[in-house]
Amino acid sequence: MATSQAKIMSEFTNPDVEVLISAEQIKEKIRELGADIARDYAGRNPLLIGVLKGACTFLSDLIRAADIPLGIEFIAISSYGAEMRTSGEVRILKDLDVAVAGRHILVVEDIVDTGLTLSYLLANLESRGAASVKLVALLDKYERREKDVAIDYLGFKIPDKFVVGYGLDFAERYRNLPFIGVLKDPTQ
Ligand code: 5GP
């Protein structure tokens, strides 16, 4: 099926989601990000750490766009309840399977929102003795930032809207949409 036709079909079958960033735009951006990462990390065998579950789609496309030797790992984290959130403390639900000491780490995240989760995670990885810790994020919801987080490689800045698709969910739905969209009515 032609790409544009596939895009129309996926929009058509998801009338509750309005397209914000198309599959073609994502593909093109990932091509650029992969080339940048391959150039910057050549000869350094970076370890790309995907934050489950949202970043797994992004990570799997990104590594195929970065033509250098690299490793991948996954980490699953969960933030505490609303009252604890301002502390930025998160719980590690699934930790890495390897040590990061001396490795060049590139954290792969789907979206940076308040920045609380990421600032904790980046500091945590640095404290484990990584040679370097950088961040690649597909989306930056910059208007909601509470903690400064340096995004070293960024896909798109987006407005303060709840987005789904391309790995991002609402109650575990919509992760498999090939585009990023805005949920029209999250209560439906
Ligand atoms: P932060 O600590 O930056 O506020 O939280 C980032 C996490 O919140 C993301 O990894 C993601 O799981 C979730 N999140 C933030 N904004 C959105 C959004 O618009 N849609 C979805 N599906 N998840 C979001």
Q: Which residues are annotated as catalytic?
A: 113
Residue 115 near ligand 1, beta carbon < 6 Å: yes
Residue 165 within a domain: no
Residue 166 within a domain: no
Instruction: Look at phi and psi of residue 155 and say left if phi exceeds 0, alpha if psi is from -120 to 50, else beta.
Output: alpha
Instruction: Please give the helix or strand (H or E) that residue 45 lies within, else none.
Output: none
Residue 34 within a domain: yes
**CA 180 to CA 16: how far, in whole Å?**
13
Domain that holds residue 82: 25-159
pLDDT at 185: 73
pLDDT at 184: 85
Is residue 114 packed enough to be buried (19+ CB in 10 Å), middle (13-18) or exposed (0-12)? middle
Q: What CATH number did the domain enclosing 140 receive?
A: 3.40.50.2020
The two three-digit tokens of residue 175, written as one number: 């992760």
Residue 112 within a domain: yes
Residue 143 within a domain: yes
- Please tell me the total count of domains within the chain: 1
pLDDT at 90: 82
pLDDT at 18: 94
Residue 78 within a domain: yes
Q: How far is the CA of 3 from the centre of ligand 1 (A)?
A: 28
Residue 80 near ligand 1, beta carbon < 6 Å: no
Q: Which residue stretches of the chain have pLDDT < 70? A: 1-14, 79-88, 186-188
Q: How far is the CA of 111 from the centre of ligand 1 (A)?
A: 6
pLDDT at 87: 62
Whole-prediction pTM value?
A: 0.90
Residue 59 within a domain: yes
**CA 64 to CA 60: how far, in whole Å?**
7
pLDDT (tens digit, 9 = 90+) per residue, 74-102?
999 986 655 555 566 788 999 999 999 99
Residue 185 within a domain: no
